[in-house]
Chain A
Amino acid sequence: GQQVMQIPQYQHVQEGEDFTTYCNSSTTLSNIQWYKQRPGGHPVFLIQLVKSGEVKKQKRLTFQFGEAKKNSSLHITATQTTDVGTYFCAGPGSGAGSYQLTFGKGTKLSVIP
């Protein structure tokens, strides 16, 4: 079945440093979605990318979708303590699983003030 892998699993940064998490799928994706989960909270949808090579920005967050639509990245510029949480990517399955989203295991971001 489809696999969605994220690296790194954990990242500790000093406040003000940049942060990047990477997402790789074993299959081509029709879209990729990013979610953020604060400690003790629930996943919250951030953004959806659909087009090959697409780049979208939300303030200090930059999201990219690879040309082959099999990988994606989330980059945070000048991290703040409010960025703490786990970031998940998710992509639609293929074949029999095409109605489901497959989530990566997430990258847990800690920001040291």
Chain B
Amino acid sequence: NAGVTQTPKFQVLKTGQSMTLQCAQDMNHNSMYWYRQDPGMGLRLIYYSASEGTTDKGEVPNGYNVSRLNKREFSLRLESAAPSQTSVYFCASSIRTNQPQHFGDGTRLSIL
């Protein structure tokens, strides 16, 4: 039982490049989330999807887009990467909103 799977685990980009972070869960959860974690800042919500077919902005959505591809998959796209987006990105899922979340292993992203 894999839980929440994120790919890639590490990535280095140049400023201006684009990329998509992938996330998939196999727990039949309705809600999925994308967070970034920076030193001293805790976990900040970028976007979330309360249920299949819906997406909403979180605390720090600027510079990102998301797609809830189906119930299992929720991707995060950086259209034009900036050094300020260097961070660790976590995907999470929960049976429904406000319930305990299960996190993936994270993607460590560096933008030069």
Contact = CB atoms under 8 A, between A and B. Distances in A.
A interacts with B: yes
B101 A45 contact: yes
Contacts of B102: 45
A26 B102 CA distance: 25
Contact of A106 (B42, B45, B92, B99): B42
B56 A43 contact: no
A interface, by DSSP: helix, strand, loop or mixed? loop
B104 A30 contact: no
Nearest to A43: B103
B50 A105 contact: no
Q: Interface residue tally of chain B, by bracket?
A: 20 to 34
Nearest to B54: A99
A92 B44 CA distance: 14
B97 interface: yes
B74 to A, nearest CB: 15
Given A33-B100, A99-B31, 16 more contacts: A42-B90, A42-B103, A43-B90, A44-B103, A45-B102, A48-B99, A48-B100, A88-B42, A88-B43, A98-B98, A99-B48, A99-B56, A100-B58, A104-B42, A105-B40, A105-B42
- Shortest beta-carbon contacts, A-B, top 8: A105-B42, A92-B98, A99-B97, A42-B103, A103-B43, A45-B100, A43-B103, A103-B42
